[in-house]
Structure 1
Amino acid sequence: MTEVRRQLFIGGAWADAAHGATLPVDDPATGEIIAHVADAGPEDARLAEEAAVSAQPGWARTAPRARSEILRRAYELILERTDELARLMTSEMGKPLAEARGEAAYAAEFLRWFSEEAVRIDGGLGLLPDGRTRMLLSRRPVGPSLLITPWNFPLAMATRKIGPAVAAGCTTILKPAPQTPLSALALAGILQEAGLPDGVLNVVPTSRAQAVCEPLLRGGRIRKLSFTGSTAVGRLLLAQCAGTVVRTSMELGGNAPFIVFEDADLDAAVDGAMVAKMRNMGEACTAANRFFVHRSVAGAFGRRLAARMAALEVGPGTRDGVDVGPLIDAAGRAKVEELVDDAVERGARVLTGGRTPGGPGCFYPPTVLADVAPGSRLLETEIFGPVAAILTFDDEDEVLDRANDTPWGLVGYVFTQGLDRGLRVSEGLEVGMVGLNTGLVSDPAAPFGGVKQSGLGREGGRAGIEEFLEYQYVAVPVR
C-alpha cells in the first residue's frame, strides 16, 4: 500500500480543506501525534454533496454486476493489505495487531457479502385482488447517503455502511470519527483502485461534525443517514433529519446483560465472557456490561473470570504478546476510572484490576468487580472499557426483569445447558440480538441492530441492503 493520503476525498480527487485546516491524529498508546489530516468545514461538505448528487443518476443506472465486481475487487485488496491496514488501525486506535487483523478480515467480509447482494435485488409482478390491475414492483436506490462511523471499529463500520450503499446504487458521503480518519482514507484509496467511479464515495474527516453534517441533513438533497454512535448524538441527528424526512438507520448505545444460569457450563461461560467483554478492550457497543450470575455459581464464575482477566498482557498494540491496548483517549479512560470508583465506594469488591497504571498512554487494566450494588453508575451506562461488573440473581423471572430494566436493547448473552430455557429467556430479552452460549454475535451475514434506544434498522445480512432501497409500485390496467 502506498502512503495513506491525508486529504479530503471528494469527487474522486484528493484535496486540502477549503481553509487549509487540519486535525491531529494521536496514538493513544503514547499520546504522540502521528498525522495531521485535512479538517473539513461546511464548504467542503457542500462540495462532497454536489459530487454525490451529480454522480447519483449514473451510479443508479450502473449494472448490478458491475457494482458487485467493484466491491469484490475491494474485498480482495483489503485481504492483500491486511497487515498494513492493521498497523494503521493500531496506530490511530490502539487495538492490538491481532485484533486489528481480525477487523480487517471482518471489514472485507462486508464487501464480499454485499457484492453478492448487489445482484440479488429483485422486484415482482402480480395481479391485484380485484383482477383489474397488475402490480409491477421494482427496487431503486434511496439516493445520496450520509454515513457517519465511530472510532472503535474504523474500518469495519465503514465497510458495513459503504458496502450496502454501493451495492444498492447509492452515492455516499462518509464522515469518519476524528480520532480515526486514516483507516477511512485508506479505504477510499482502495475503493478508487477497485474501480469505484468518481463521486460515488466522498470522505470528509472533520472535527466540526455539527457544522458539516447538519446542513447536509437539513438541505433536502441527502436522502439517507446511516449513523453508528451514542444514543445522545443519535437523538440530535434524528431531529435534524425530521425537517426533510431523511430516511435513517441508527446503531446506538448498548447496556448488554450477560446471564449465567446455575446449569451453565462455567468454562464455556467464562470463555464467552472474555469475548463479550474484552473484544476491542471493551470499547464495543456489543460489550457485556452487566454480568448477572446465579447466586449458586457466582463465586466460582467470578474467580475464574478474574484469573483470566488478570493474565491478559496490557501494553501498546504493536508489541508482541499484548492482549489489551490503550483506551481511545484520556476522556475515555477517565470515564472508566470514575465508574469503577463509584462502584467501589458503593461496596463492590475488586477481584482484579481497578487501578490506573502510571506512565504514558491511555491504559486501564482488565477489571472484575463483584457484589456490585444497585444504583452503581456503571450499571446504567455503557462502560466502554475492560470492566466486568458481577451481580447475583436467584430465579429466571427476576433476572429477566433486571436485564430488561434499561432504555437500551442492543444485545444480550445467555448461558445455560437447557435448550428450552435458553430459547425462553432469549425470547424474553428486549434486545435485537442474543448470543446463546456464545459471546460473539457479529457476522456480516446476520442482521445487526437493536430495539428501544439502541437504534433503528439493521446492518449486515439481507436486511442491510434493504436500508438503502425503496419500492416503486406501478399500476398497470389489465386490458
Structure 2
Amino acid sequence: MTALPPPAQQLIDGKLVGGSDGTTYPILNPATGEEIGQAPDGTAADVEGAIAAARRAFDESGWATDRDLRVRCLRQLHQALLDDADAFKALTTVEVGMPGFMMGAAGFDVPVDGLKWVTDLLEIYEFETDLGVAAPMGIKSQRTVRREPVGVVAAITPWNVPTQINLAKIGPALAAGCTVVLKPAPDTPWVAAELGRLVAEHTDIPAGVFNVVTPRSNDVAALLSTDPRVDMVSFTGSTSVGRAIMAAAAPTLKKVFLELGGKSAAIVLDDADIGSAAGATAFAACIHAGQGCAITTRLVVPREKYDEAVQVAAATMESIGAKDPADPGAICGPVISQVQRDRVKEYLRVAVEEGGTFATGGAVIDQPGFWIQPTVVAGLDNSSRLAQEEIFGPVLVVIPHDGDDDAVRIANESAYGLSGSVDSGDVERAKSVAARIRTGTIAVNGGVWFSPDAPFGGYKQSGIGREMGVAGFEEYLETKTIAEPAKG
C-alpha cells in the first residue's frame, strides 16, 4: 500500500502550522468510518493571519507584477504534484472515498494537467490591449486596456472532487497574480493541506501568496466572506451556502464567483438507442456515489420506451453495485459522511411518500462506513422533490416525455442549469434540442466537455461565472482602461 503524505497542517504566511489553540478534529475514511488522521481546527486568529499575510503579499511583494516568477513557481508546483502523485492519489481514495479509476480524470490527472494548461496560458496571455487613438470630446487620446489581478482571493471548496476544484481556483488565481487563502471543506482538509505542504517545501512561491486554513466552524470560515481585505470569494458548493456567501460579501461589494448545484437532465430522443443511453446515464449516476454537481440525475425518455429505460438503468446499477473505492473495479464508492448518508436516506423516504417505486436499490447498506445502494426511482414526474432537488447520492430518477418540445420543457423546468446531455440518432436534431437547454455545459451523443481549456459553470441557480478555460482565468482579473494624450 502506498504511504500517505505527512499529517495535515495549515499554511499561513509561508509556515506549516497547527491551529493556534492546538485543537484538532478527526479525518474519517468514508468507506470504513475509521479515523485516518487529524486536521488542525483553524481559529479566527488563524484565518485573520492568513488574510493579513495574503493582503501583505499582494500589496508589497512582486507577485502581482512578475510574470516570470509566477510561471516558474507554478511549474515547480506542477512538478511537485507529479512527483507526489502516488501518495496524493492514495490519500484521495481514503479521505474522499473516491474510486481509483477517477484519478485518471477529475480525481488527479485532469486538475494537474489544468495547472500546466493555465501556466502555459500565462506565458502567452496579453495583459494589455491597444485601443488606438480616438478623440472623445475633441481630445486626441491614446487608449490602453490593461488586465490586472483582482487581489486577495478566498477560495472556499467542497469535499466531492477537492483536488479538481482546489486547483481550478488556485491555478488561475495565482497565475493572474492574485494571492489566495484556501479554505477546504472539513470533510476533506488533508488533500488541501497537502497542496500547502508542496507549495511550502517545493516551490519558490513567496510567503503569504498561498495560504491554507482548515477551520471546522462555519462561523470562523465566514470571516473570509466579510473581511474587507479580501477582494474576491470563489466558492463551489451548495446553492444555499452560495446564497449566504453572496449576502455576506454584499456589504463590502466583493467580487463573487459561485459554482453551485445541479439537477441535470439526460434527454433521450425517440430515435436514439434507448439501451445505450439509459445504461450510460445510470453508469454516470453511480460514479463516485453520485457526488458530482454536473452528473445527469434525471433520465428523460420517450414515454413509449419508459419501461425499457427503467429496466436497463436498473440492470446497469445492479451490475455496478457499491464497492470499496480501493477495489480496482469500483465505480460507486461510499458517500462522504454519515450526514450525507442520512440526507440521501431521507430523499429515498420522500420518493416513496411521493408515489415513486424503486426499480433497484432504495436503501442504505448496513456495513461500516457510509453506503447507499445505487438506486433507480420510477413513477415520479418532474414536479417531484426528487426531480427538482439535488440529492448528491447514487440516485437516478426516470421521467417520461412526449416529444422534443416536452423534453426541453422538462429539462428547463428546474431552478438549476449546470449540465445535461441529449442523445439522438440524428446529430443535427440532438444539437437543435441541446441549443434550447438553459445550461452551462451539455453533451451531444456522448461528447465530453470536461477539459482544462473548456469553461465550466451554470445558468440560473447553478452559479455565477465560469471556471477553467480562458474565461476561468479571466475571472481573477480586473479591467483598467488608461488614456493619455496622443502624440503628434
TM-score computed with the length of structure 2 as normaliser: 0.93
Give the direction of change, closer, same or farther, for the CA distance of 1:63–1:364 in structure 2 (3 Å limit). Answer: same
Cα separation, 1, equivalents of 2:226 and 2:365: 46
Per the TM alignment, residue 439 of structure 1 is displaced from its structure 2 partner at its CA by 7.0
Is 1:64 the counterpart of 2:58? The answer is no
SS in 1 for 2:143: strand
* Amino acid paired to 1:360: P
Q: Secondary structure at the match of 2:351?
A: helix
Letter of the aligned partner of 1:28 in structure 2? P
What's the counterpart of residue 218 of structure 2? 209
Q: Which amino acid aligns with 2:445?
A: N
Seen in structure 2, the aligned counterparts of structure 1 residues 337 and 439 have a Cα distance that, compared at 3 Å, is: farther
Paired residue for 1:55?
Answer: 57
One-letter identity of the residue aligned with 1:352: T
Q: Determine helix, strand or coil for the equivalent of 2:442.
A: strand
Structure 2 vs 1, CA of residues 2 and 314 (structure 1 numbering), >3 Å: closer, same or farther?
Answer: closer
Report how far residue 83 of structure 1 moved.
2.4
SS of the aligned residue for 1:433 comes to coil
Aligned to 1:156: 164
Is the 1:315–1:363 contact (alpha carbons within 8 Å) kept by the matching residues of 2?
A: no
State the partner residue of 1:411: 419
CA separation of 1:275 and 1:119: change in aligned 2, threshold 3 A: farther
Decide which moves more: 469-478 or 317-326: 317-326
Query: Which residue in 2 is equivalent to 1:167?
Result: 175
Deviation of 1:400 after TM superposition, in Å, equals: 1.4
1:88 CA drift (Å):
0.5
Aligned counterparts, 1:119-268, within 5 A: 119-122=123-126, 123-130=128-135, 132-192=140-200, 193-214=202-223, 216-268=224-276
Q: Matches of 1:79 and 1:298 in 2, distance apart?
A: 46
Q: Is 1:395–2:403 an aligned residue pair?
A: yes
2:108 maps to amino acid: A
- Aligned counterpart, 1:117: 121
Distance 2:64 2:400 in 1: 57
Measure, in 1, the Cα distance between the counterparts of 2:428 and 2:102: 35
The whole-number CA distance in structure 1 between the counterparts of 2:330 and 2:403 is 39
Q: Deviations over 1:180-229 (max 9, x none)?
A: 00100111122331332221110001111332333x33231110110001
8 Å CA contact retained: 1:347, 1:373 = no
TM-score by length of 1: 0.95
Q: One-letter code of the match for 1:196?
A: I
Which secondary structure does the structure 1 equivalent of 2:334 belong to? coil
The answer to whether 1:382 aligns with 2:390 is: yes
Q: Distance in 1 between matches of 2:129 and 2:328?
A: 55
Q: 1:217 to 1:320 in 2, by over 3 A?
A: closer
Which amino acid in the other structure matches residue 124 of structure 1?
T
The DSSP-based 3-state class of the residue aligned with 2:145 is: strand
Q: Distance in 2 between matches of 1:200 and 1:275?
A: 41
Offset at 1:459?
A: 0.4
Equivalents in 2 of 1:439, 1:339: separation in Å? 31
- Provide closer, same or farther for how the CA distance between residues 267 and 374 of structure 1 changes in structure 2, counting only shifts above 3 A: closer
Q: Which residue of 2 aligns with 1:370?
A: 378
Question: What is residue 32 of structure 1 aligned with on the other side?
Answer: 34
Residue 222 of structure 1 aligns to a residue whose secondary structure is coil
Q: Provide the residue aligned with 1:83 in structure 2.
A: 86
Cα distance in structure 2, aligned partners of 1:279 and 1:315: 11
Match of 2:286 among 274, 278, 282: 278
Deviating more after overlay: 50-59 vs 270-279? 270-279
Instruction: Identify if the C-alpha distance between structure 1 residues 101 and 24 changes in structure 2 by more than 3 Å, giving closer, same or farther.
Output: farther
Contact 1:71 1:114 in 2 (8 A): no
Q: Quick check: 1:253–1:453 contact (8 Å CA) kept in 2?
A: yes
Q: State whether residues 292 and 399 of structure 1, in contact with CA within 8 Å, keep that contact through their aligned partners in structure 2.
A: yes
The range that moved more, 127-136 or 219-228, is 127-136
Residue 22 of structure 1 aligns with an amino acid whose one-letter code is T
8 Å contact kept, 2:4–2:88 = no
What is the one-letter code of the residue matched to 1:443?
S
CA deviations 1:145-174 (Å, max 9, x no partner) are 100000001111100000001100000000
Does the aligned pair in 1 maintain the 2:443–2:449 contact within 8 Å? Answer: yes
Asked if the contact 1:276–1:286 (Cα under 8 Å) also holds between the matched residues in 2, the reply is no
CA distance in 2 between counterparts of 1:346 and 1:471 reads 50
SS in 1 for 2:435: helix
* Aligned residue identity for 1:40: G
| Aligned equivalents of 1:275, 1:135: Cα separation in 2 | 54
The range that moved more, 315-324 or 361-370, is 315-324
Instruction: From the superposition, tell whether residues 65 and 297 of structure 1 become closer, same or farther in structure 2 (CA, over 3 Å).
Output: farther
**For the structure 1 residues 369 and 439, does the alpha-carbon distance in structure 2 shift closer, same or farther, using more than 3 Å as the test?**
farther
How large is the RMSD of aligned CA atoms in angstroms? 1.9
CA distance in 2 between counterparts of 1:448 and 1:362 reads 30
The within-5 A match list for 1:278-317 is: 278-317=286-325
CA contact (8 A) 2:348 2:363 kept: no
Residue of structure 2 in register with 1:97 after alignment: 100
Distance 1:439 1:306, change over 3 A: farther
Cα distance per residue 1:298-351 (max 9 Å; x no partner) = 222222222121111423212343332110111211222221232233332322
Give the whole-Å Cα distance in 2 for the aligned partners of 1:124 and 1:304.
54
CA 1:419–1:315 in structure 2 vs 1: closer, same or farther (change >3 Å)? Answer: closer
Maintained 8 Å contact 2:5/2:87: no
Mapped partners of 1:326, 1:343: distance in 2:
21
Gap runs ≥5 in structure 1: none
Aligned to 1:6: 8
Amino acid at match of 2:32: T
| Alignment-derived partner of residue 107 in structure 1 | 111
Checking the alignment, whether the CA contact within 8 Å between 2:279 and 2:316 is kept in structure 1 is: no
Structure 1 runs (4+) greater than 4 angstroms displaced = none
Distance change (3 Å), C-alpha of 1:313 and 1:393? closer
C-alpha distance in structure 2 between counterparts of 1:423 and 1:390, whole Å: 22
Amino acid at match of 1:116: D
**Conserved? CA contact 1:26–1:32, under 8 Å:** yes
Residues 377-429 of structure 1: per-residue CA shift (max 9 Å, x gap): 21121121111110111111112112111111111211112233222211211
Verify the 8 A CA contact 1:343 1:373 in the aligned structure 2: no
Shift of 1:22: 1.1
1:287, 1:384 within 8 Å by CA — same for their partners in 2?
Answer: no
Separation (CA, whole Å) in 1 of partners of 2:438 and 2:4 = 46
